[in-house]
Amino acid sequence: MTAAEIEVQQLLTPEERARRAELEEQVVVGVRAGIMAGRALRSLQGEKLYRSTHPTFEAYGLETFGLSRARLYQLIDFANVAEEAAARGIEISNERVARALGVVAPDDYALVLDVTRAMTGKQTPSSADVQGVADTVRSLADGMQVEHPDTQEPVLLSQIPPERRVEAVAKAVQRGSQDRRDFQGTDDVKPMEYVAGFQQMGLRGAIQFDERGYWLEVLDPSTGELRPGPVVKSIWEAPRAWRQQHEAERQGEEG
């Protein structure tokens, strides 16, 4: 045993040993009830109650419970999401649903679930249902625009009255699904893969957007030339429009 390990593996007080035993029992008994397991693991980690036998929380979790590092933190995240939801009057008992919700801010949990229920008609939607809506809400929180229910103009989600947000987000989810069907699977090169391919050509490409819509800008580092594509209404269509414009220009130069 190294000096560092001896230093880490300090003796626990009688109270800490009792606390550790109590929490370990909760993990063993509560593995199926993931929230209890996650809370116990979070406390074991936060209070460093593993330190008398293991140098790290991850090593302790693997040897004591047979839980991988990823699984340890999944359970802790489950407890965190469930508690944030409970504080907002939302009950989350399904770990997969909690994981899907975890990609958005806690204040958006209710919005995600309300939209999912409205779209699916299910009072207890599946994690796959929740994931699709949560991904859209996360994109909206990051600045992606949504169509205003009254004006049909692209605006930030915060500019839509709270009572109309379910309607607006549901439409954005539906449109996103349709866009993926229309644009991701019809080209010989999928649009987002086309954008990623610019790096291999020594170019830089990025999707831009404003109230008019979306467009792809491509910067050629060798010339410093910035070449914007046509403005279109779909993020998926922007790479296609730039590609069509670029190929038409190239054919014109060759002709």
Compute CA distances 32 → 91, 130, 249, whole Å.
17, 22, 61
Q: How far apart, in whole angstroms, are the C-alpha atoms of residue 109 and residue 97?
A: 11
Q: What is the CA radius of gyration of the chain?
A: 25
In sequence order, the β-bridge partners of residue 232 are: 214
Give the pLDDT confidence score for residue 8 in this predicted structure.
45
Q: How far apart, in whole angstroms, are the C-alpha atoms of residue 92 and residue 98?
A: 7
Which residues make Cβ contacts (< 8 Å) with residue 177, sequence separation at least 6? Answer: 132
Q: How far apart, in whole angstroms, are the C-alpha atoms of residue 177 and residue 174?
A: 5
Q: How far apart, in whole angstroms, are the C-alpha atoms of residue 50 and residue 44?
A: 7
Give the pLDDT confidence score for residue 56 in this predicted structure.
94
Element (H, E) at 175: helix 165-179
Q: How many CA atoms lie within 13 A of 176 on its CB side?
A: 18
pTM (global) more than 0.75: no
Residue 137, Ramachandran bin (φ over 0: left; ψ between -120 and 50: alpha; else beta): alpha
Give the pLDDT confidence score for residue 112 in this predicted structure.
94
In sequence order, the β-bridge partners of residue 228 are: 217
pLDDT in tens, the chain (255 residues): 444 444 445 678 887 887 888 788 777 665 457 888 899 999 999 999 999 999 999 999 999 999 999 999 999 999 999 999 999 999 887 888 898 899 899 999 999 999 999 998 888 888 888 988 998 898 888 888 888 888 888 888 899 999 999 998 998 888 776 555 544 444 555 666 666 666 555 667 777 777 788 888 887 766 777 888 899 877 778 888 888 887 787 776 665
Residues 106-123 as b or e (16 or more Cβ within 10 Å = b): bebbebbbebbbebbeee
**Which position has the token pair 């009688």?**
14
| Residue 200, token pair as written in the block | 């291999």
Compute CA distances 237 → 82, 140, 144, 189, whole Å.
38, 18, 15, 13
Alpha-carbon 246 to chain mean position: 33
Q: How far apart, in whole angstroms, are the C-alpha atoms of residue 211 and residue 179?
A: 19
**Which position has the token pair 């109590």?**
22
